Amino acid sequence: MKRIVILISGRGSNMQALLEAKLPCEIAAVISNRADAQGLATASAHGIATAVVSHKDYADRASFDAALAKIIDGYAADIVVLAGFMRILTDGFVERYAGRLINIHPSLLPAYPGIDTHERALQDGVKIHGCTVHFVTPTLDHGPIIIQAAVPVLRDDTPQSLSARVLCEEHRIYPQALRWLCLNQVWLDEHGRVASDRLEQPGAPLLSPGLE
Ligand code: NHR
Ligand code: GAR
């Protein structure tokens, strides 16, 4: 069974969804760059080892990433999962875990990379928003896409109400994506594209607003 290390920075609800999904893998550890991350207590309550590597203890990104990699490798991780992890990673770190480092991002990439995605989507008046699980590459939020979920944007949405609707879908697609990786049903091929040996599942179209 593949060994997984999850990196968090805060609440850890996506991490919790992964812990509770009964995936065919061993979650070896949860690591946070912030000692006050709520998700650390949740991980401990699930009997998962935790560690903190504070970026504030390191002079630059490269030395922080090197310390992080040392701990990750101590857990012999096969796959590294970013779940609300808020530090941009150096090219060296990303390349070390090429094809086995994934992230969940709260937008329909390539729209709205970076932060404050829900605010920007509302500002633009888009009618459909969502979330994306992708392989991490050096270019921020531009790695090959594994799965996306779309939600309607409603007239009275606030960033909070919209993010709650997106988060529900995050908790569905992230366990699915990790399950595929654990079962070797999805992988990053030699051209840097997402390959899969599962049958294509035709999804339903989402119209927003709907037709009359
Ligand atoms: N690193 C690389 N190289 N590539 C990606 O695609 C990455 C990554 C690290 C994190 C997650 C990402 C997201 O899903 C992620 C993808 C943090 C920032 C950011 O600006 C942006 C995107 C993501 C994560 N971080 C600030 C920084 O200076 C700190 C912001 C904060 O602490 O609130 O690192 O959105
Ligand atoms: C999630 O919405 C995740 O997609 C997003 O932060 C939230 C973390 O929630 N990630 C990013 O914005 C990465 N920059 P969680 O800690 O409860 O999973």
pLDDT digits (tens, 9 = 90+) for 94-103: 999 999 999 9
- Does residue 105 carry a catalytic annotation? yes
Ligand 1 lined by 86 (C-beta under 6 Å): yes
Closest ligand 1 atom, residue 91 Cα: 3
Q: Is 1 exposed, middle or buried (0-12, 13-18, 19+ CB in 10 A)?
A: exposed
Ligand 1 lined by 136 (C-beta under 6 Å): yes
pLDDT at 198: 83
- Domain 1-97 CATH superfamily: Formyl transferase, N-terminal domain (3.40.50.170)
Amino acid making up residue 109: L
pLDDT digits (tens, 9 = 90+) for 2-24: 999 999 999 999 999 999 999 99
Would you say 157 and 126 are in contact if contact means Cβ atoms under 8 Å apart?
A: no
Give the CATH architecture of domain 103-198: 3-Layer(aba) Sandwich (3.40)
The H-assigned helical ranges of the chain are: 13-19, 38-45, 61-74, 91-96, 117-124, 159-182
Is the predicted pLDDT of residue 202 greater than 90, yes or no?
A: no
pLDDT at 110: 98
Q: Whose CA is nearest to atom 15 of ligand 1?
A: 88
Structure tokens at 4: 């997984």
Is-above-0.95 flag for pTM?
Answer: yes
**Confidence label for 200 from pLDDT (cuts 50, 70 and 90):** confident
- Ligand 2 centroid to residue 143 C-alpha, Å: 17
3-state secondary structure of 193: coil
Q: Is 7 exposed, middle or buried (0-12, 13-18, 19+ CB in 10 A)?
A: buried
Look at the block and give the residue holding tokens 């404050």. Answer: 116
Would you say 53 and 41 are in contact if contact means Cβ atoms under 8 Å apart?
A: no
Ligand 2 lined by 11 (C-beta under 6 Å): yes
**Confidence label for 35 from pLDDT (cuts 50, 70 and 90):** very high
Is the predicted pLDDT of residue 211 greater than 80, yes or no?
A: yes
Ligand 2 lined by 130 (C-beta under 6 Å): no
Per 3-state DSSP, what percentage of the chain is helix, strand, and coil (rounded to 5)?
A: 35, 25, 45
Percentage of the chain modeled with pLDDT above 90: 96
Per domain, the residue ranges of the chain are: 1-97, 103-198
Q: Do domains 1-97 and 103-198 have the same CATH topology?
A: yes
pLDDT digits (tens, 9 = 90+) for 149-193: 999 999 999 999 999 999 999 999 999 999 999 999 999 999 999
